[in-house]
C-alpha cells in the first residue's frame, strides 16, 4: 500500500510547482503562458512521480494504540 502522507505531500508540491511555473513565472519574465503551461505540467508530473516512488518505498507508520493492534488491516 502506498503511503498516503507522501502522496498528499507530493500532490501539494506538484500543484504548487505547476501554478508557479505556469502563472507566476510568465508574469515576471518574458515567457509566454503556453510555454509556462508546458513546462509546469512537465515539472509537476516529474515531481509527482518522484513522490509516488518514495511513497511506494516508505512504509506507512501506524500508531501503537490503534484499534487493529498496529497491524495492516487494508
For the chain, the domains span 4-57
pLDDT, greater one: 1 or 16: 16
Tell me the three cell numbers of residue 40. 509546469
pLDDT average, residue stretch 29-47 = 92
| pLDDT score of 63 | 56
Q: Kindly give the residue spans of alpha helices, DSSP state H, lying in 20-32.
A: 25-28
Contacts of 37 (CB under 8 A, 6+ apart): 22
pTM for this predicted structure:
0.72
Amino acid at each position: 500500500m502506498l503511503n498516503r502522507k507522501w502522496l498528499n505531500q507530493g500532490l501539494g508540491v506538484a500543484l504548487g510547482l505547476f501554478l508557479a511555473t505556469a502563472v507566476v513565472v510568465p508574469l515576471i519574465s518574458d515567457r509566454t503562458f503556453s510555454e509556462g503551461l508546458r513546462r509546469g505540467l512537465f515539472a509537476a508530473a516529474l515531481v509527482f512521480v518522484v513522490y509516488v516512488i518514495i511513497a511506494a518505498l516508505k512504509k506507512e507508520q501506524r500508531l501503537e494504540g490503534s484499534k487493529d493492534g498496529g497491524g495492516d488491516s487494508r
